[in-house]
Structure 1
């Protein structure tokens, strides 16, 4: 399936045949031919992109369409040019954008929660015993920058 309808379609099928022959020999230890008589190849007509940047979006849509609307017959020539409407690509891009932003937001929330858990004591780890009260000399109460340590455990308002 070629969304650009490039001139090298015949070489793609030839390359796939050669790959399958090598893969068969490596995995099975024997030789097998995947020539035109054994494995037919064709380049079906599919919805076409009008730029050089949407290849990946079209591949995703081809896969999605293949599973949602399976090809009823593989008789050649195969014409799938109306497989999905052209405006589907605009909505596909928007869906991908929304998914990426949603995943980014989830990741940021998880990272923030992880940072808070690392910086704040967990209620389970706190001892239920009352703290021991010790007397402190006034000279020990002076705070130096090295002794100051703030941990942010609750949102600031």
Structure 2
């Protein structure tokens, strides 16, 4: 899945995180651009490393990640997608955060992913220790004081894709299925919910049709008004692109329809349909 396909992916993530979804107030969803920024932040070697991290914190401004039950981070690297879920157990469990890595091809190096996510949590832990009273967190004081040593990691066995292009769909389906089945706070025994037979691979691949329908419905609504308003669910997802071709969205064939999105100003994106050839990218 290319950078261009991040737009519909982020739109779908936003829909998953909508208030109508089950207990999503206890989840925090980072978008598809976050992990690359995280890598840059933790690898930064300048003398102003601390201030650099403070600027990086704008990505979750106003959110105390340690209060959440789950943090979901899509990872895009080397033309492949996988998913990280950071789980913060219940205060009664007396255990630290657990980092889960879900990969439908086993392509991403889990050790590198775990190292990066651990570094991120440790940096945020150090920052929060300077700014906030530990009792503000649903984490036992004994665990909080040694949080940098209490972070666990787990490679999760999941259904595997049967081709080399459905990785993005699998990540979205991992998230959707997890939201449906996860308890309020994860306990180690709950890891049994995962496995190679968690769902049929075809269920993830079929998500392509669902996303296509969502996108087409959204754009049809846009055509009625001729623009995307600031309040539209598409606004922030399209705002980063000068043009979006549906034929390039992770294999989402759209029968030759090409949509040009012209940025008019900060609060509005004008949309015009345009016919093109039979190009199809999978």
Answer yes or no: same fold by TM over 0.5. yes
**Where does structure 1 differ by over 6 angstroms across 4 or more consecutive aligned residues?**
none
Supply the distance in 2 between the matched residues of 1:101 and 1:7 (Cα, whole angstroms). 32
Q: Which has the larger radius of gyration?
A: 1
What number of residue pairs does the alignment pair up?
Answer: 110
**What TM-score, normalized to structure 1?**
0.59
Please state how far the C-alpha of 1:8 moved relative to its aligned partner. Answer: 1.1
Q: RMSD across aligned C-alpha pairs, in angstroms? A: 2.8
Name the structure 2 match of 1:64: 176
Name the structure 2 match of 1:21: 122
Question: Secondary structure, in 3 states, of the residue corresponding to 2:119?
Answer: helix
Name the structure 2 match of 1:48: 160
Question: Secondary structure, in 3 states, of the residue corresponding to 1:41?
Answer: strand
> Equivalent residues in 2 for 1:1-157 (5 A)?
1-6=102-107, 8-29=109-130, 33-35=147-149, 38-70=150-182, 74-75=188-189, 79-111=194-226
Please state how far the C-alpha of 1:73 moved relative to its aligned partner. Answer: 5.8
Greater strand fraction, Structure 1 or Structure 2? 2
Supply the distance in 1 between the matched residues of 2:201 and 2:220 (Cα, whole angstroms). 30
Please state how far the C-alpha of 1:109 moved relative to its aligned partner. Answer: 0.9
Unaligned runs of 5+ in 1: 113-157
Supply the distance in 1 between the matched residues of 2:177 and 2:191 (Cα, whole angstroms). 19
Please state how far the C-alpha of 1:80 moved relative to its aligned partner. Answer: 2.0
